[in-house]
Amino acid sequence: MPMRYARLLSRSFSDLLLPPGPLHFLLRDFRGWIDGDRFALDVQLRDGNKLMFYHGTTVLLNIAHGVNVGDVSLSAASAYGNVPGNRELMRRWPAVEFGTLKELVPAYLRSAVAASGEKYYRNGQEGYWQNRLALAFGPDWRPGMDWLILDREAVVGFGNDAERSAIQSAAQQKFLAVRTLLQQENPSLWGKPDSKNLGNEADLLALGPDRELYVIELKHGGNADGIYWGRLQAAVYGDIFRQALGQISNDILELTVQKVELGLLPREALARVPSTGLRTVVPVLMVAEPNDASSCWARLQDVLARCPEANAVLVEVRSSADVAPIPRIPA
């Protein structure tokens, strides 16, 4: 089996979600369910024929299309088991009962948002910015914006475990070696060497205007060590997606088209879908609300000097009122 990016919903599930389908309200109305915050919930399509409702870095609700035509199954992490409405909601729902979901789903999600930990979204850091950017450059995208964000927590699927291990491990080891060397040379500055890898899952995935696939690692300005190692992380993702691009390009473009069809991307976004496939992968390190006084910027340059191959594009977002990412100029 080739490498894949398998997040497309089945036709039977998408029919339920498209107007006049009985579950269309899930995609039409979710931006208004949390009073005063249009960015508190983000909906994404997932492998396994699922919808996931994100609140920053936590998933509050999973909706999977059932084995029987028309059924859906709702579930949530055990952390939300005591949230009001959870026990009534988390089960298999036959089509004849879908009308009840119009009240139960929004009520549960409001309660789950209130019960969720501050670290996931309300602290205004990475989880908040994941939602903010995914929505601003996804459903709220307009022609003229450089990036069309089409997904988050993006990871390549592999044909088997051996292929996954070979490709991910090779990308990890190449860039982990740089981190380890710096830590061994000066542990007081860089920290002690550890076995933690650099991750295999990009925070955001975007299409550019010239058939580029932007693979984005997002950091908050208060996360200094995350920033100076961030280019290595972005380089790992870029390496993996670059190897997979020929096999996953159509998957990504079909996902984009389906999200337009479902109303999760605007109709104008179809102009961003190239008929000839994706051309290149561009790794990006994006820093939200950067701290200009931080020492991380100098160390970020030191990492790049040691590893020119980790030359991810560096951009920053200064304000939630103006989320256009702009290149950061090295000091």
Round to whole Å and give the CA distance between 283 and 314.
9
Angle between helices 161-185 and 296-306 (to 10 degrees): 120
Mean pLDDT of 197-213: 96
Q: CB 180: neighbour CB atoms within 10 A?
A: 15
Range from 146-155, 165-174, 276-285 carrying the lowest mean pLDDT: 165-174
| Amino acid, single-letter form, for residue 252 | I
Whole-number average pLDDT of the chain: 95
Give the confidence band of 68 by pLDDT, cuts at 50, 70, 90: low
Locate 266 and state its tokens: 């605007």
pLDDT per position as a tens digit, 118-135? 999 999 999 999 999 999
The whole-model pTM stands at 0.96
% of the chain residues with pLDDT over 70: 98
Residue 87: its pLDDT value, please? 97
Is 70 exceeded by the pLDDT of residue 276?
A: yes
Is 60 exceeded by the pLDDT of residue 187?
A: yes
Identify the DSSP state of 82.
Answer: T
Angle between helices 230-262 and 161-185 (to 10 degrees): 140
Is 80 exceeded by the pLDDT of residue 330?
A: no
Contact 53, 43 (CB under 8 A): yes
Residue 69: its pLDDT value, please? 73
Q: Among 280, 257, 264, 286, which Cα is nearest to 133's? A: 286
Q: Among 111, 112, 113, 75, which Cα is nearest to 93's? A: 75
Give the confidence band of 321 by pLDDT, cuts at 50, 70, 90: confident
Residue 268: its pLDDT value, please? 97
pLDDT per position as a tens digit, 218-244? 999 999 999 999 999 999 999 999 999
| Amino acid, single-letter form, for residue 135 | L
Locate 265 and state its tokens: 């991307």
Residue 328: its pLDDT value, please? 86
Q: Which residue has the higher pLDDT, 196 or 281?
A: 281
Q: Among 229, 275, 237, 264, which Cα is nearest to 52's? A: 264
Q: Among 234, 206, 207, which Cα is nearest to 218's? A: 234
% of the chain residues with pLDDT over 90: 92
Give the confidence band of 212 by pLDDT, cuts at 50, 70, 90: very high
Mean pLDDT of 248-256: 97
Is 90 exceeded by the pLDDT of residue 286?
A: yes
The residues facing 152 across adjacent strands are: 204
Residue 195: its pLDDT value, please? 79
Give the confidence band of 194 by pLDDT, cuts at 50, 70, 90: confident
Contacts (Cβ under 8 Å, ≥6 apart) of 81: 87
Is 60 exceeded by the pLDDT of residue 331?
A: no
Q: Among 162, 148, 138, which Cα is nearest to 206's? A: 148
Give the confidence band of 48 by pLDDT, cuts at 50, 70, 90: very high
Residue 67: its pLDDT value, please? 63
Contact 182, 301 (CB under 8 A): no
